[in-house]
Amino acid sequence: MSNALPLGPGAEFDAIRSMLERWGPRASGVGDDAAVLGLPRGESLVASVDTAVENRHFVRGWLTTRELARRAVVAALSDLAAMAATPAGVLISLIVPDAWRDELLGLADGVGDAVRDAGTYIIGGNISAGDELSITTTVLGHVYVPLARSGAHVGDRLYVTGRLGGPADALFRLRDGRDAGPHRDRFARPVARIAEARWLAERGASAAIDISDGLAADARHVAAASGVRLVLDSPDIPCVSDVPAELALASGEEYELLVASPVALDAAEFEARFGIPLTPIGIVEHGSDVVVRGARVAAPSGHDHFSR
Protein backbone atom coordinates (compact mmCIF):
# COMPACT_ATOMS: atom_id res chain seq x y z
CA MET A 1 0.00 0.00 0.00
CA SER A 2 1.22 3.50 -0.68
CA ASN A 3 1.83 5.48 2.46
CA ALA A 4 1.13 9.09 3.36
CA LEU A 5 1.95 12.02 1.14
CA PRO A 6 4.25 14.65 2.60
CA LEU A 7 2.27 17.13 4.70
CA GLY A 8 2.92 20.81 5.30
CA PRO A 9 4.11 22.27 8.62
CA GLY A 10 2.08 22.91 11.83
CA ALA A 11 1.15 21.31 15.14
CA GLU A 12 -1.89 19.55 13.66
CA PHE A 13 0.28 18.00 10.98
CA ASP A 14 2.96 17.06 13.51
CA ALA A 15 0.29 15.18 15.46
CA ILE A 16 -0.95 13.48 12.31
CA ARG A 17 2.61 12.60 11.29
CA SER A 18 3.33 10.98 14.66
CA MET A 19 0.20 8.84 14.35
CA LEU A 20 0.93 7.91 10.74
CA GLU A 21 4.42 6.83 11.76
CA ARG A 22 2.88 4.60 14.41
CA TRP A 23 0.46 3.08 11.93
CA GLY A 24 3.06 2.41 9.24
CA PRO A 25 1.54 0.47 6.35
CA ARG A 26 -1.84 0.33 8.16
CA ALA A 27 -2.38 3.95 7.05
CA SER A 28 -2.93 4.20 3.35
CA GLY A 29 -3.28 7.23 1.10
CA VAL A 30 -3.70 9.70 3.98
CA GLY A 31 -2.56 13.25 3.19
CA ASP A 32 -4.71 14.41 0.29
CA ASP A 33 -8.03 16.23 0.69
CA ALA A 34 -9.77 12.87 0.57
CA ALA A 35 -8.92 9.19 0.27
CA VAL A 36 -9.50 7.33 -2.99
CA LEU A 37 -10.23 3.63 -3.11
CA GLY A 38 -11.67 1.07 -5.45
CA LEU A 39 -14.41 -1.39 -4.51
CA PRO A 40 -14.99 -4.84 -5.98
CA ARG A 41 -17.11 -4.62 -9.13
CA GLY A 42 -20.80 -5.30 -8.53
CA GLU A 43 -20.64 -4.84 -4.76
CA SER A 44 -22.37 -2.02 -2.90
CA LEU A 45 -20.64 0.45 -0.64
CA VAL A 46 -21.54 0.16 3.07
CA ALA A 47 -20.88 3.12 5.38
CA SER A 48 -21.47 3.89 9.04
CA VAL A 49 -20.24 6.32 11.68
CA ASP A 50 -19.93 5.95 15.46
CA THR A 51 -18.61 8.26 18.16
CA ALA A 52 -17.22 7.50 21.62
CA VAL A 53 -17.24 10.51 23.97
CA GLU A 54 -15.31 10.71 27.24
CA ASN A 55 -17.51 10.35 30.34
CA ARG A 56 -20.48 9.34 28.17
CA HIS A 57 -19.16 6.19 26.53
CA PHE A 58 -16.00 5.62 28.54
CA VAL A 59 -14.27 6.83 31.69
CA ARG A 60 -10.57 7.59 31.75
CA GLY A 61 -8.70 5.06 33.86
CA TRP A 62 -11.17 2.20 33.47
CA LEU A 63 -9.21 0.95 30.51
CA THR A 64 -5.83 1.77 29.05
CA THR A 65 -5.82 4.48 26.38
CA ARG A 66 -4.96 1.84 23.82
CA GLU A 67 -7.90 -0.32 24.89
CA LEU A 68 -10.44 2.49 24.86
CA ALA A 69 -9.39 3.62 21.38
CA ARG A 70 -9.52 0.04 20.15
CA ARG A 71 -13.04 -0.35 21.58
CA ALA A 72 -14.24 2.83 19.91
CA VAL A 73 -13.10 1.60 16.51
CA VAL A 74 -14.38 -1.95 17.08
CA ALA A 75 -17.81 -0.48 17.89
CA ALA A 76 -17.91 1.12 14.46
CA LEU A 77 -16.52 -1.92 12.66
CA SER A 78 -19.20 -3.99 14.35
CA ASP A 79 -21.78 -2.10 12.29
CA LEU A 80 -20.10 -3.43 9.15
CA ALA A 81 -20.26 -6.92 10.61
CA ALA A 82 -23.99 -6.46 11.22
CA MET A 83 -24.39 -5.91 7.46
CA ALA A 84 -22.11 -8.87 6.61
CA ALA A 85 -19.84 -6.38 4.85
CA THR A 86 -16.10 -6.62 4.31
CA PRO A 87 -14.19 -3.56 5.61
CA ALA A 88 -12.54 -1.33 3.00
CA GLY A 89 -11.13 1.31 5.33
CA VAL A 90 -11.80 3.60 8.27
CA LEU A 91 -11.63 7.38 8.78
CA ILE A 92 -10.83 8.58 12.29
CA SER A 93 -11.74 12.01 13.66
CA LEU A 94 -10.27 12.78 17.07
CA ILE A 95 -11.08 15.66 19.38
CA VAL A 96 -8.13 15.72 21.80
CA PRO A 97 -8.07 17.95 24.93
CA ASP A 98 -4.77 19.13 26.35
CA ALA A 99 -5.09 16.55 29.15
CA TRP A 100 -4.91 13.77 26.54
CA ARG A 101 -2.22 15.21 24.28
CA ASP A 102 0.44 12.93 25.74
CA GLU A 103 -1.75 9.91 24.99
CA LEU A 104 -1.82 10.45 21.23
CA LEU A 105 0.34 7.41 20.45
CA GLY A 106 -1.73 5.23 22.80
CA LEU A 107 -4.82 6.32 20.89
CA ALA A 108 -3.04 5.58 17.61
CA ASP A 109 -2.04 2.13 18.84
CA GLY A 110 -5.62 1.27 19.82
CA VAL A 111 -6.95 2.42 16.46
CA GLY A 112 -4.20 0.39 14.78
CA ASP A 113 -5.11 -2.74 16.81
CA ALA A 114 -8.76 -2.59 15.77
CA VAL A 115 -7.97 -1.92 12.15
CA ARG A 116 -5.37 -4.70 11.98
CA ASP A 117 -7.72 -7.22 13.63
CA ALA A 118 -10.32 -6.41 10.98
CA GLY A 119 -7.79 -6.69 8.16
CA THR A 120 -8.37 -3.14 7.00
CA TYR A 121 -6.68 0.29 6.80
CA ILE A 122 -6.85 3.85 8.09
CA ILE A 123 -7.59 5.85 4.95
CA GLY A 124 -8.31 9.28 6.39
CA GLY A 125 -8.82 11.33 9.49
CA ASN A 126 -8.90 14.60 11.28
CA ILE A 127 -7.64 15.92 14.60
CA SER A 128 -8.95 18.90 16.57
CA ALA A 129 -8.40 20.38 19.98
CA GLY A 130 -11.41 20.42 22.32
CA ASP A 131 -12.52 20.11 25.92
CA GLU A 132 -13.36 16.41 25.96
CA LEU A 133 -11.86 13.43 24.19
CA SER A 134 -13.98 11.93 21.43
CA ILE A 135 -13.20 9.33 18.82
CA THR A 136 -15.42 9.32 15.74
CA THR A 137 -14.93 6.40 13.40
CA THR A 138 -16.40 6.15 9.95
CA VAL A 139 -16.23 2.64 8.56
CA LEU A 140 -16.46 1.85 4.87
CA GLY A 141 -17.03 -1.61 3.50
CA HIS A 142 -18.45 -3.51 0.61
CA VAL A 143 -20.98 -6.28 0.27
CA TYR A 144 -22.85 -8.07 -2.47
CA VAL A 145 -26.09 -8.62 -0.51
CA PRO A 146 -26.25 -6.79 2.85
CA LEU A 147 -27.80 -8.34 5.95
CA ALA A 148 -30.38 -5.74 6.99
CA ARG A 149 -32.32 -5.26 10.21
CA SER A 150 -35.46 -5.46 8.10
CA GLY A 151 -34.88 -8.98 6.83
CA ALA A 152 -36.52 -10.99 9.67
CA HIS A 153 -39.64 -12.93 8.68
CA VAL A 154 -42.26 -14.85 10.60
CA GLY A 155 -40.96 -18.34 11.26
CA ASP A 156 -37.27 -17.39 11.21
CA ARG A 157 -35.01 -18.78 13.91
CA LEU A 158 -33.00 -16.38 16.04
CA TYR A 159 -29.36 -16.94 16.95
CA VAL A 160 -26.78 -15.05 18.89
CA THR A 161 -22.99 -15.29 18.59
CA GLY A 162 -20.71 -15.59 21.61
CA ARG A 163 -21.60 -15.37 25.29
CA LEU A 164 -23.27 -12.26 26.67
CA GLY A 165 -23.04 -10.36 29.93
CA GLY A 166 -19.30 -9.77 30.20
CA PRO A 167 -19.32 -6.03 29.46
CA ALA A 168 -22.28 -5.42 31.79
CA ASP A 169 -20.58 -7.31 34.59
CA ALA A 170 -17.30 -5.44 34.12
CA LEU A 171 -19.04 -2.06 33.91
CA PHE A 172 -21.09 -2.84 37.01
CA ARG A 173 -17.88 -3.50 38.95
CA LEU A 174 -16.04 -0.46 37.58
CA ARG A 175 -18.95 1.86 38.40
CA ASP A 176 -18.90 0.34 41.87
CA GLY A 177 -15.26 1.38 42.27
CA ARG A 178 -13.96 -2.19 42.07
CA ASP A 179 -11.68 -3.77 39.47
CA ALA A 180 -13.26 -4.99 36.25
CA GLY A 181 -13.35 -8.59 37.45
CA PRO A 182 -13.24 -11.91 35.56
CA HIS A 183 -14.83 -10.59 32.37
CA ARG A 184 -12.54 -7.62 31.89
CA ASP A 185 -11.33 -8.91 28.53
CA ARG A 186 -14.84 -9.17 27.11
CA PHE A 187 -15.28 -5.49 28.00
CA ALA A 188 -11.77 -4.25 27.21
CA ARG A 189 -11.10 -6.18 24.04
CA PRO A 190 -14.28 -6.76 22.07
CA VAL A 191 -14.06 -8.17 18.56
CA ALA A 192 -16.13 -7.13 15.56
CA ARG A 193 -17.68 -10.33 14.20
CA ILE A 194 -16.83 -9.62 10.60
CA ALA A 195 -15.80 -13.06 9.36
CA GLU A 196 -18.58 -14.63 11.45
CA ALA A 197 -21.23 -12.43 9.81
CA ARG A 198 -20.10 -13.32 6.31
CA TRP A 199 -20.22 -17.01 7.24
CA LEU A 200 -23.76 -16.59 8.60
CA ALA A 201 -24.95 -14.62 5.54
CA GLU A 202 -23.48 -17.20 3.16
CA ARG A 203 -25.37 -19.95 4.99
CA GLY A 204 -28.77 -18.28 4.84
CA ALA A 205 -29.13 -15.68 7.61
CA SER A 206 -31.55 -12.99 6.45
CA ALA A 207 -31.28 -10.27 9.10
CA ALA A 208 -28.69 -9.14 11.63
CA ILE A 209 -27.92 -6.48 14.16
CA ASP A 210 -24.91 -6.05 16.41
CA ILE A 211 -25.60 -5.94 20.13
CA SER A 212 -24.42 -2.50 21.09
CA ASP A 213 -27.42 -1.43 23.19
CA GLY A 214 -28.12 -4.85 24.75
CA LEU A 215 -29.81 -7.91 23.28
CA ALA A 216 -33.33 -6.90 24.31
CA ALA A 217 -33.03 -3.33 23.03
CA ASP A 218 -31.42 -4.33 19.75
CA ALA A 219 -33.98 -7.08 19.21
CA ARG A 220 -36.56 -4.27 19.33
CA HIS A 221 -34.83 -2.52 16.47
CA VAL A 222 -35.04 -5.67 14.37
CA ALA A 223 -38.71 -6.12 15.32
CA ALA A 224 -39.50 -2.50 14.36
CA ALA A 225 -37.56 -2.62 11.09
CA SER A 226 -38.94 -6.00 10.05
CA GLY A 227 -42.52 -5.48 11.25
CA VAL A 228 -42.49 -8.66 13.33
CA ARG A 229 -42.31 -9.89 16.93
CA LEU A 230 -39.10 -11.39 18.25
CA VAL A 231 -39.57 -14.05 20.93
CA LEU A 232 -36.46 -14.71 23.00
CA ASP A 233 -36.14 -17.67 25.33
CA SER A 234 -34.38 -16.36 28.39
CA PRO A 235 -33.01 -19.73 29.62
CA ASP A 236 -31.32 -20.25 26.25
CA ILE A 237 -29.36 -17.00 26.30
CA PRO A 238 -25.66 -17.86 26.41
CA CYS A 239 -24.09 -16.06 29.35
CA VAL A 240 -20.55 -15.72 30.62
CA SER A 241 -19.95 -17.45 33.95
CA ASP A 242 -21.82 -16.15 37.01
CA VAL A 243 -23.88 -13.64 35.03
CA PRO A 244 -27.66 -14.15 34.94
CA ALA A 245 -29.68 -13.93 31.72
CA GLU A 246 -31.44 -10.81 32.98
CA LEU A 247 -28.14 -8.94 33.07
CA ALA A 248 -27.00 -10.49 29.79
CA LEU A 249 -30.21 -9.27 28.11
CA ALA A 250 -29.36 -5.68 29.01
CA SER A 251 -25.60 -5.92 28.48
CA GLY A 252 -24.61 -3.34 25.88
CA GLU A 253 -21.39 -2.94 23.91
CA GLU A 254 -21.20 -6.68 23.39
CA TYR A 255 -20.55 -6.46 19.66
CA GLU A 256 -21.94 -9.93 19.26
CA LEU A 257 -24.54 -10.49 16.53
CA LEU A 258 -28.24 -11.30 16.73
CA VAL A 259 -29.28 -12.95 13.47
CA ALA A 260 -32.52 -14.25 12.01
CA SER A 261 -32.44 -17.15 9.59
CA PRO A 262 -35.16 -19.02 7.70
CA VAL A 263 -32.91 -22.10 7.73
CA ALA A 264 -31.25 -23.89 10.64
CA LEU A 265 -27.62 -22.83 11.02
CA ASP A 266 -24.89 -25.35 11.91
CA ALA A 267 -23.81 -24.20 15.37
CA ALA A 268 -21.17 -26.96 15.71
CA GLU A 269 -19.47 -25.94 12.46
CA PHE A 270 -19.63 -22.29 13.51
CA GLU A 271 -18.01 -22.99 16.86
CA ALA A 272 -15.33 -25.17 15.29
CA ARG A 273 -14.53 -22.39 12.84
CA PHE A 274 -14.62 -19.34 15.09
CA GLY A 275 -14.10 -20.66 18.63
CA ILE A 276 -17.28 -19.05 19.99
CA PRO A 277 -20.78 -20.50 20.27
CA LEU A 278 -23.70 -19.81 17.95
CA THR A 279 -26.83 -20.29 20.06
CA PRO A 280 -30.51 -20.60 19.02
CA ILE A 281 -32.36 -18.22 21.32
CA GLY A 282 -35.84 -17.81 19.90
CA ILE A 283 -38.13 -17.34 16.94
CA VAL A 284 -39.86 -14.66 14.87
CA GLU A 285 -43.65 -14.40 15.14
CA HIS A 286 -46.48 -12.22 13.84
CA GLY A 287 -46.87 -9.06 15.90
CA SER A 288 -44.54 -6.39 17.12
CA ASP A 289 -41.90 -5.71 19.80
CA VAL A 290 -39.91 -8.27 21.77
CA VAL A 291 -41.18 -10.90 24.18
CA VAL A 292 -38.76 -12.58 26.56
CA ARG A 293 -40.03 -15.98 27.74
CA GLY A 294 -38.88 -17.37 31.06
CA ALA A 295 -37.30 -14.16 32.31
CA ARG A 296 -37.61 -13.33 36.00
CA VAL A 297 -37.95 -9.62 35.21
CA ALA A 298 -39.38 -7.56 32.38
CA ALA A 299 -37.13 -7.17 29.36
CA PRO A 300 -34.76 -4.34 30.15
CA SER A 301 -34.60 -1.45 27.76
CA GLY A 302 -30.86 -1.24 27.19
CA HIS A 303 -28.64 1.75 27.39
CA ASP A 304 -29.47 5.10 25.78
CA HIS A 305 -26.46 7.42 25.62
CA PHE A 306 -28.61 10.39 24.74
CA SER A 307 -31.08 10.26 27.65
CA ARG A 308 -31.14 13.40 29.72
Identify any residues that bridge with 87 across adjacent strands, giving them in sequence order.
Answer: 141
Binding of its own copies by 125 (CB under 8 A): yes
CA-angle at 86, arms to 73 and 31, nearest 5°: 60
Q: Is the separation of the CB atoms in 278 and 161 below 8 Å?
A: yes
Query: What's the maximum distance between 2 C-alpha atoms anywhere in the chain?
Result: 63
Interacting residues with its own copies between 155 and 194 (CB under 8 A): none
Stretch that binds its own copies, among 82-90, 161-169, 245-253, 291-299 (CB under 8 A): 82-90
Return the exposure string of 154-178: e unless at least 16 CB atoms fall within 10 Å of the residue's CB, then b.
eebbbbbbbbbbbbbbbbbbbeeee
Least spacing, CB of residue 7 vs its own copies, in Å: 6
Binding of its own copies by 15 (CB under 8 A): yes
> Which residue lies nearer to its own copies by CB, 92 or 295?
92
C-alpha 267 chain-centroid distance: 22
DSSP sequence for 222-260: HHHHHTSEEEEEGGGS-B-TT--HHHHHH--S---EEEE
Least spacing, CB of residue 284 vs its own copies, in Å: 16
Stretch that binds its own copies, among 10-18, 107-115, 232-240, 248-256 (CB under 8 A): 10-18
Least spacing, CB of residue 182 vs its own copies, in Å: 30
> Which residue lies nearer to its own copies by CB, 84 or 243?
84
Stretch that binds its own copies, among 45-53, 61-69, 105-113, 184-192 (CB under 8 A): 45-53
Amino acid present at 63: L
Binding of its own copies by 228 (CB under 8 A): no
> Which of 20, 28, 50, 169 touches its own copies by CB under 8 A?
50
Binding of its own copies by 130 (CB under 8 A): yes
